[in-house]
Chain A
Amino acid sequence: MNKTNKKDWMLAIAFVVLAAVLIHCASIIMRPVHNSYGSTWDAYLCEPEDSIDVLFLGSSYAYCDWNPEIMFAASGLTGYVMAGSEQTPSITYWYLKQALKTQSPQVVVMEGSSFFFEMYQNYTQINLDYMPRGIDRARAILDAAEPDKRLGLFFDLYFYHDRWKELTREDIAKLITPASADVNKGYTYVDNVYDTKGSTPYHREPSKDTAAYEKHLEAFKKIAELCGDNGIDLIVTINPTFSQCSPEIYDKLEKDLTGIAPEADFMLLANSFDEIGLDISRDLYDGGHLNFYGACKFSEWTGKMLLGKGYTPREQTKEDKAAWDDGAQYWLNLRDTSQSAAS
């Protein structure tokens, strides 16, 4: 290689690297800020390593129903919700794989309503787009995204480049502002109260697509194996909801899941309002999900239930403990204030 040729190669490589870096920066600027409704990866990655006892997975039933800070206040167990809107089990598997890179929970609690979803639901773009860049994200896209969404998921500007018209200073500030942990711990606050006066739980039809169900079970098998390989217990729950499938369907799901992973615990809580202490006239957000008051009760109940199963809070550093205490206090104050305002 002569000198001129070498210089040309160096320049070409430098140009490609520079273009790639600039495209990456442009992607960060153009991608909308997303810090609610699940897929809160930036905040999750800021949690101190190996500080989480319980990892909650699933769909919106997970991120609306469990508030890890309230669970911490009741049990001392630290938790985090890594769930996404209408998240299918195949995406949940990749979430778990990614999440275990920085945390080593004792138990994974997966809300199982997603087993009744279609092959693809409505929020694949958000659920996968905010995952950390890397080989697992690429594999998740190929495994769990609709074919027509893959291009945009691999190349963000395809989805978001036309946001140039609505860019704000905050969008550009994302480039230099580091992410930080927050008090939500993946929980999404919703405070609407669903009016259930005179009504009973309504019937929900699961997807009729048997191929979709098979794929969900396949993903569950991988989730169970991943938990097993990492010495993590697995609990699948159907959270308290007014949107319920028939008992036969729940029976079949339990049979299928425990058939795949006999060591997993299946907890059908769809109708366990009284056992948990939920007030259906006050604690439901939209019939499907719990609101903040319901989430507080359910999170306390979950913490105590996990303590009863023998899980114990791991030791935290002084700073981490203080941060969790502060976070818990924030939510407890909010609950008490809301309750006194309501009464």
Chain B
Amino acid sequence: MSFLSPAYFAFFPVTVLIYFLLPQKCRNLWLLIGSWFFYACAGPEYLPFLVGSSIAVYFAARRLEKKPQKALLVFMLALFIGLLTLFKYLGFAANVISRTLSVFGLDWTAAVPKLLLPAGISFYFFAAMGYLIDVYRGKVPAEKDFVKSALFLSFFPSLLSGPIARADRLMPQFEQLHEFSWQEARVGLFRFAYGAFLKLLIADRLAVMVDTVFASPQSFGSLQVIAAACAFSIQIYCDFAAYSHMAIGSARAMGFKLTENFNTPYFSRSIAEFWRRWHISLSTWFRDYLYIPLGGNRRGQTRKYINVLIVFAVSGLWHGAATSFLVWGLLNGIYQVIGSITAPLRARVRSALRLDDNGKLTVLWQMLCVFVLATVAWTFFEAGSVSGAIDVLRACAGSTLWAAPLSAMGMDKWEFAVAFVSCIVMLIVDILHFRHGDQAERAAGSPWPLRCLLLLALLFASLIFGSYGTGYDAQSFIYGQF
């Protein structure tokens, strides 16, 4: 059940209405039933995985609280990672082994069974592992109520594509009494409507151009391929940020506050900062449960760089079982390592050029560099293979600037115009967010004529200019596949 499906538009109001009508003691149970129903709509065959994980996590957490046994924690983590490997990486691993052996002249191919990949498994398994580690560390108590424990993993707004839940923030909210609040409902509505705007007007529209150009980069001029590569940077941001807005908005309407997942990442001045602002729930997960346990930056520079590369390699693989994702992750790690090594040199260049470290020109230049570097890395993410990405990058450096008519890029002039205007709107919202904080809060708190106008504008922009319905290929959320 996608957030932008008629089924969700029926499911969500009914769930929320009944949630607020029920007495407090029944509400979590109701949410759990609703969440499991929501998950079953993605595929009833997936439900046993979620229910099974919930049961395992509940008992393991109770046990770890009573007696913090490292062996049990390791067993549980190995179980989750093993299952993830089985469902997601078995084919990839067999392929890597086969190719490695072929280098030594050995011929080996494994018949890998095609296993079903339960929806959202990467997200709720990571939430589960984080919770168990926190219980083991004594950071959070084990939840004694099975319903709350299961709801922590299953809470429908964040179940399929995050934000990845953290026990210390979400679990206490299941204890609280959430009274219906107009302000919270309005904030939720604005977040949801803005998410729909990003998805339908920008992400799905640009997807047509990106898919067309990436499918055959050699048929286009270098400017056109560069435009498509930049468009993918915007597409993936709008796609995933849209999902997060809608997830956070849905939860907010019920009074729950999920972890923010994006904080204007393309306004970052370094790749390290970019990763503090992009997919925040995953970045912080890796920081807390992988980077710091590996030693973080406490064991010298070289070890720090190795740790960064390990984290980003794992992050790449988390996104998908393919070499191109691994390269994408490593590239982001390498950017950070090089950024850290060259920081003093760059400071000296700025000083020689008499550029203020925080001057407008410096900041804009750094943001531009981040966007370009991220775009090069995203090319590996989108192209589907390393060779495909290299083809795209090679086409970016081609000598012909413009080789095909605009219409060959999959969009007519009107579609380009809508995409352009929508991107300007997104840019303005991001600038306002960057300077003044959450714009949904501001919009929801504005005088009623203004907020009605804003909401109607978002609604009608999506309904009239959105990429949906007859004649459009419905695009699923990119992060839905992870």
> Least Cβ distance of B190 to chain A in Å?
13
Which residue of B412, B414, B464, B470 is within 8 Å of A159 (Cβ)? B470
B34 at the interface (CB under 8 A from A): no
Nearest-neighbor residue (CB-CB) of B448 within chain A:
A11
Residues 447-475 of chain B: 1 if any A CB is under 8 Å from the residue's CB, otherwise 0?
01000100110011001111011111000
Residues of B with C-beta under 8 A to A161: 463-466, 468-469
Query: If the complex has contacts A8-B182, A165-B414, are A22 and B460 also in contact, measured as CB distance less than 8 A?
Result: yes
Query: If the complex has contacts A8-B182, A11-B448, A26-B460, are A159 and B465 also in contact, measured as CB distance less than 8 A?
Result: no
Residues of B with C-beta under 8 A to A164: 464-465
Interface members, chain B 387-418 (any A CB < 8 Å)? 412, 414
A57 at the interface (CB under 8 A from B): no
B293 at the interface (CB under 8 A from A): no
Q: Is the CB of B456 within 8 A of A18?
A: yes
Q: Is the CB of A162 within 8 A of B469?
A: yes
A173 at the interface (CB under 8 A from B): no
B6 at the interface (CB under 8 A from A): yes
Interface members, chain A 148-202 (any B CB < 8 Å)? 151-152, 157-159, 161-162, 164-165
Residues 1-22 of chain A: 1 if any B CB is under 8 Å from the residue's CB, otherwise 0?
0000100100110010011001
- Most chain B CB atoms below 10 A, which of A151, A158, A162: A162
Q: What separation, in Å, do the CA atoms of A19 and B162 have in the docked complex? A: 30
Q: What separation, in Å, do the CA atoms of A9 and B208 have in the docked complex? A: 41
Q: What separation, in Å, do the CA atoms of A151 and B465 have in the docked complex? A: 18
Residues of A with C-beta under 8 A to B472: 162
> Least Cβ distance of B166 to chain A in Å?
32
Q: What separation, in Å, do the CA atoms of A96 and B446 have in the docked complex? A: 51
Nearest-neighbor residue (CB-CB) of A27 within chain B:
B463
> Least Cβ distance of A124 to chain B in Å?
13
Nearest-neighbor residue (CB-CB) of B181 within chain A:
A8
Residues 126-166 of chain A: 1 if any B CB is under 8 Å from the residue's CB, otherwise 0?
00000000000000000000000001100001110110110
> Least Cβ distance of A214 to chain B in Å?
30
Q: Is the CB of B459 within 8 A of A19?
A: yes
Q: What separation, in Å, do the CA atoms of A151 and B468 have in the docked complex? A: 12
Q: Is the CB of A26 within 8 A of B464?
A: yes
Q: What separation, in Å, do the CA atoms of A19 and B462 have in the docked complex? A: 13
> Least Cβ distance of A317 to chain B in Å?
44
Residues 178-212 of chain B: 1 if any A CB is under 8 Å from the residue's CB, otherwise 0?
00001000000000000000000000000000000
Interface members, chain B 65-92 (any A CB < 8 Å)? none
Q: What separation, in Å, do the CA atoms of A5 and B179 have in the docked complex? A: 13
A23 at the interface (CB under 8 A from B): yes
Which residue of A8, A157, A165 is within 8 Å of B469 (Cβ)? A157
> Least Cβ distance of A42 to chain B in Å?
23
Q: Is the CB of A158 within 8 A of B468?
A: yes
Number of A interface residues at 8 Å Cβ cutoff, please give it: 20
Which residue of B414, B448, B463 is within 8 Å of A157 (Cβ)? B463
Residues of A with C-beta under 8 A to B466: 161
> Least Cβ distance of A27 to chain B in Å?
10
Nearest-neighbor residue (CB-CB) of B5 within chain A:
A151
B contact residues, range: 10 to 19
Query: If the complex has contacts A11-B448, A19-B459, are A152 and B464 also in contact, measured as CB distance less than 8 A?
Result: no
Q: What separation, in Å, do the CA atoms of A11 and B469 have in the docked complex? A: 30
Q: What separation, in Å, do the CA atoms of A99 and B460 have in the docked complex? A: 34
Q: Is the CB of A152 within 8 A of B448?
A: no
Residues 286-307 of chain B: 1 if any A CB is under 8 Å from the residue's CB, otherwise 0?
0000000000000000000000
Q: Is the CB of A152 within 8 A of B470?
A: yes
Residues of B with C-beta under 8 A to A18: 452, 456
Residues of A with C-beta under 8 A to B412: 165
Interface members, chain A 63-95 (any B CB < 8 Å)? none
Which residue of A12, A22, A151, A158 is within 8 Å of B456 (Cβ)? A22
Residues of A with C-beta under 8 A to B414: 165
Residues 426-456 of chain B: 1 if any A CB is under 8 Å from the residue's CB, otherwise 0?
0000000000000000000000100010011
Nearest-neighbor residue (CB-CB) of A152 within chain B:
B470
> Least Cβ distance of A16 to chain B in Å?
11
Residues of A with C-beta under 8 A to B465: 161, 164
Residues of A with C-beta under 8 A to B6: 151
Q: Is the CB of A19 within 8 A of B456?
A: yes
Q: Is the CB of B452 within 8 A of A158?
A: no
Q: Is the CB of A159 within 8 A of B469?
A: yes
Q: What separation, in Å, do the CA atoms of A8 and B182 have in the docked complex? A: 7
Residues of A with C-beta under 8 A to B468: 158, 161
Q: What separation, in Å, do the CA atoms of A46 and B459 have in the docked complex? A: 34
> Least Cβ distance of B5 to chain A in Å?
9
Interface members, chain A 1-55 (any B CB < 8 Å)? 5, 8, 11-12, 15, 18-19, 22-23, 26, 30
Q: What separation, in Å, do the CA atoms of A334 and B311 have in the docked complex? A: 82
Query: If the complex has contacts A152-B469, A162-B471, A165-B414, are A157 and B456 also in contact, measured as CB distance less than 8 A?
Result: no
Q: Is the CB of B459 within 8 A of A158?
A: no
Q: What separation, in Å, do the CA atoms of A158 and B182 have in the docked complex? A: 30
Residues of B with C-beta under 8 A to A5: 182
Q: Is the CB of B470 within 8 A of A158?
A: yes
> Least Cβ distance of B228 to chain A in Å?
22
Q: What separation, in Å, do the CA atoms of A169 and B460 have in the docked complex? A: 20
Nearest-neighbor residue (CB-CB) of B413 within chain A:
A165
Residues of A with C-beta under 8 A to B460: 22, 26
Q: Is the CB of B463 within 8 A of A26?
A: yes
Q: What separation, in Å, do the CA atoms of A5 and B185 have in the docked complex? A: 13
Q: What separation, in Å, do the CA atoms of A159 and B471 have in the docked complex? A: 8
Residues of A with C-beta under 8 A to B469: 152, 157-159, 161-162
Nearest-neighbor residue (CB-CB) of B455 within chain A:
A15
Q: A159-B470, A162-B472 are in contact. List 9 more A-B contacts (CB 8 A).
A: A8-B182, A11-B448, A11-B452, A22-B460, A158-B469, A161-B465, A162-B469, A164-B464, A165-B414
Between-chain CB contacts (< 8 Å), 27 pairs:
A8-B182, A11-B452, A15-B452, A15-B455, A19-B456, A19-B459, A22-B456, A22-B460, A23-B463, A26-B460, A26-B463, A26-B464, A30-B464, A152-B470, A157-B464, A157-B469, A158-B468, A161-B463, A161-B465, A161-B466, A161-B468, A162-B469, A162-B470, A162-B471, A162-B472, A164-B464, A165-B414
10 closest Cβ pairs, A-B complex: A158-B469, A8-B182, A165-B414, A159-B470, A157-B463, A161-B464, A164-B464, A15-B452, A11-B448, A162-B471
